[in-house]
Amino acid sequence: MASSSRGSTRVLAGIGLVLVGLLAGILVMLLADDESDTTEVARIVERVETTEAAETTRTASAPREWKESGPPPATLNRLFREVARGVTKGVVSIRVASGPDGGEENPFGQPSQNLGSGVIISPEGYIVTNSHVVDEAERIQVRLTDKRQFEARVVGTDASTDLAVLKVDGTGFPVVPLGDSDQVQVGDWVVAVGNPLQLTSTVTAGIVSALGRQLRIIEDQFRIENFIQTDAAINPGNSGGALVNLKGELVGINTAIASRSRRTEGYGFAIPSALVERVITDLIAYGEVRRGYLGVSILPVDAERADEIGLRNIRGVYLEEVQSGSAADRAGLQGDDVAVSIMGEPVNAPNDLQSLIARQRPGDTVSVTVWRNGTERTFEVELMGEDTPVYQEWLSGLQSGPSSESPTPEYQPPDDGEGDAAVTEVDGWDVGLRPLADTEASVFDVDTGAYVAYVESGGGAAAAGLPRNVVVTHLDNTRVESPADVVQYLSEATGPILLQVRRRDGTPAFYEIE
């Protein structure tokens, strides 16, 4: 019994030692975990304090994480704020007015013809805006964000690009620096600044949706359109305002929207700064733009034309005709050539070629690469000015309209036997409308509308750029069935009206008329 009792005692003692060991082990592990947690917390706190300390000495520099994972929201917000603060100072509101002097309280009188925006491009007070903003202007008032007001004069306008330069007296004006629109890519962030709907210094943001858009909205036979498309909100009154990149650099002048209403629907268009810089430089220096010309008539290359001429890939711009004695002719270019690049830049649409040539002056030499009979050849072309006899004759012929031998003459409305009695004169707009004939409905591909029979020079419609030989389909959001609808709508309107029209080629266009 005594032996058995001693054995039991030894077993119990062993178990006790084991338990003590386990407890000691657990205690050591807990202590170790506490030390680890404390050390990790200390590291995190140290890292946060280091970052905050760095932020107090950092201005607008981007965190290192930008390089790998993109900007954190707080830094992106700060970036947009800095762009907005810098750019809004250099964007002005423009009020164009006509009529009698209204006195000190209303020096511009009534009625107001137009409202728009402009961008200050030099400390000496030069301002770029759209030509259509200041068309027919008798007096122009410019207002800065600091509420200073100035009377401005027109230095020069260019109908082909819808650009104009104004001048106000003074020095030290805030400037929006010019950027390089050639570096802009689809998907880039952009910021639009202007004065839409009389809301001054409005800032909107979006991305570049497309490049090289041609809309046929500039009402000039020698229009140059190569717009940047953006989804940054642009509304009436933004015309002439700034489109800038996230460096606050001007990459475009906001010019138009495509919308069925008087509000943005996600389609805004801006003139690229590379073209703007070229135009305003000449307007300031000479009061006009001095352009070099190739002397060619061009057409797009589609699948049918590519197949006809044996071009394997659908690319380039088709040279339909080369004017005898022109710069292109002297350099060796020929009709039926396909221009594939200008100065090394690919061209795949007529407006690509036009915008590149439009940046050059008479006497400049440009390299033109063409596809001819299965091979590519490059020609050095010295551009000629419009003042040379060969160009004066050629341009005069183009301005006088297509000849009777042209395969696509301008559409003329049919004689319905009713003469002028069928035309409704719209007072205030100085425009004549008449009902659609059946043949016109077919040509314009519309069911209803009012045909624009004439537009008088100097009237409200002409000032807005409305051409004849189009069909008015909508006034703001209201569908137009007949000329009577236009007259009725105008009699009840209290502000500017947005006309939507259909051109003969089936494309829509938009015009804002007081």
What pLDDT is attached to residue 467? 80
What contacts 425, CB < 8 A, 6 or more positions away?
Answer: 431, 432
Catalytic residue among 135, 158, 162, 337: 162
Q: What is the predicted pLDDT for the residue at 403? A: 35
Omega before 467 within 30 of 0, i.e. cis:
no
- CA separation for the pair 325, 319 (Å, rounded): 15
Could you tell me if 163 and 92 lie in one domain? yes
Contact call for residues 227 and 203 (beta carbons, < 8 A): no
How many Cα atoms occupy the beta-carbon half-sphere of 37 within 13 Å? 6
Q: Could you tell me the two tokens for 90?
A: 């250099």
Q: Same structural domain for residues 147 and 205?
A: yes
Q: Which residues contact 39 (CB under 8 A, 6 or more apart)?
A: none
How far is it, in rounded angstroms, from Cα 131 to Cα 287? 13
Q: Which of 242, 267, 287 is the last residue of a domain?
A: 287
Gap between the Cα atoms of 501 and 484, Å rounded: 16
Residues 6+ apart with CB under 8 A from 323: 295, 296, 297, 329, 390, 391, 394
Are residues 89 and 170 located together in one domain of the fold?
A: yes
* Residue from 117, 201, 239, 355 carrying the catalytic annotation: 239
Whether residues 378 and 319 fall in one domain: yes
Euclidean distance between the first and the last CA atom of the chain, given in angstroms as a whole number: 121
Residues 337 and 441 in one domain: no
Whether residues 457 and 337 fall in one domain: no
Q: Is the pLDDT of residue 383 over 60?
A: yes
Of the chain, the percentage scoring pLDDT greater than 70 comes to: 73
pLDDT surpasses 90 at 346: yes
- Residue 257 predicted with pLDDT over 60: yes
Residue 159 has pLDDT above 70, yes or no: yes
Segment 392-419 mean pLDDT: 44
**271-285 confidence digits (pLDDT tens):** 999 999 999 999 999
Q: Which domain holds residue 388?
A: 296-399
Give residue 387's pLDDT. 76
Is 274 exposed, middle or buried, given 0-12, 13-18 or 19+ CB atoms closer than 10 A? buried
Label residue 27 left, alpha or beta by phi (over 0 means left) and psi (-120 to 50 means alpha).
alpha
Q: Quick: pLDDT tens for 398-407.
A: 554 443 333 3
Assess if residue 57 is contained within a domain. Answer: no
Q: What is the dihedral of CA 425, 487, 511, 139, to 10 degrees?
A: 70
Within-domain flag for 311: yes
How many domains are contained in the chain?
3
Boundary-marking domain end, from 270, 287, 304: 287
Residue 60 lies in a domain: no
pLDDT at 47 over 80: no
Model confidence band, residue 411 (pLDDT cutoffs 50, 70, 90): very low
Instruction: Write the DSSP symbol of residue 186.
Output: T
DSSP string, 202-243: EEEEEEEEEEEE----S-STT----EEEE-S---TT-TT-EE
In this predicted model, what pLDDT tens digit does every residue of 197-234 receive, in sequence order? 777 888 999 999 999 887 776 766 677 888 999 988 88
> pTM of the full predicted structure?
0.60
Same domain, 345 and 379: yes
Two tokens at 373? 């009979």
Query: Is 261 in the same domain as 153?
Result: yes
- Report the CATH number at residue 91: 2.40.10.120
d(C-alpha 271, C-alpha 238), whole Å? 13
The residues with which 202 forms a beta bridge, in sequence order, are: 194
Distance CA 500, CA 310 (A): 40
Residue 350 lies in a domain: yes
The reply to whether 195 and 267 lie within a common domain is: yes
**Apex CA 378: angle with CA 374 and CA 380, to 5°?**
150
What distance in Å separates the CA atoms of residue 44 and residue 52, rounded to the nearest whole number?
Answer: 12
DSSP summary character for residue 174: -
pLDDT at 396: 61
Exposure string over 325-362, b if 16+ CB within 10 A, otherwise e: bbbbbbbebeeebbbbbbeeeebbbbbbbbbbbbbbeb
Q: Is residue 366 part of a domain?
A: yes
pLDDT beyond 60 at 389: yes
pLDDT value, residue 265: 57
Span 127-143, pLDDT tens digits:
999 998 888 788 999 99
Say yes or no: 254 and 300 in one domain.
Answer: no
231 and 270 co-located in one domain: yes
The predicted pLDDT at position 33 comes to 45
Q: Kindly state the average pLDDT of the residues 291-300.
A: 90
pLDDT tens digits, residue range 427-439? 778 888 888 877 6
DSSP character at residue 437: P
Residues 94, 227, single domain; the answer is yes
| CATH number of the CATH domain containing 428 | 2.30.42.10
Out of 237, 262, 287, a domain closes at 287
Query: Looking at 93, 132, 231, 485, which residue is catalytic?
Result: 132
Distance (Å, whole) CA 166 – CA 151:
10
The verdict on whether 132 is a catalytic residue reads yes
Please tell me the distance from the alpha carbon of residue 237 to that of residue 264, in angstroms, as a whole number: 12
pLDDT band at residue 42 under the 50/70/90 scheme = very low
Residue 30 within a domain: no
Residue 414: predicted pLDDT: 38
47 domain-assigned = no
Active site residue 427: no
Assess if residue 410 is contained within a domain. no
The predicted structure's pLDDT at residue 203: 92
Distance, in Å, from the CA atom of 502 to the CA atom of 499, rounded to the nearest integer, reads: 10
Q: Which of 296, 302, 311 is nearest to 379 (CA)?
A: 296
Please compute the mean of the pLDDT values over residues 153-161 and round it to a whole number: 91
Question: CB neighbours (10 Å) of residue 297?
Answer: 15
Q: Would you state the structure tokens that stand for residue 196, as one six-digit string?
A: 């839409």
Average pLDDT in the 441-463 region?
A: 79
Most confident listed range (11-15, 103-107, 352-356, 453-457)? 352-356
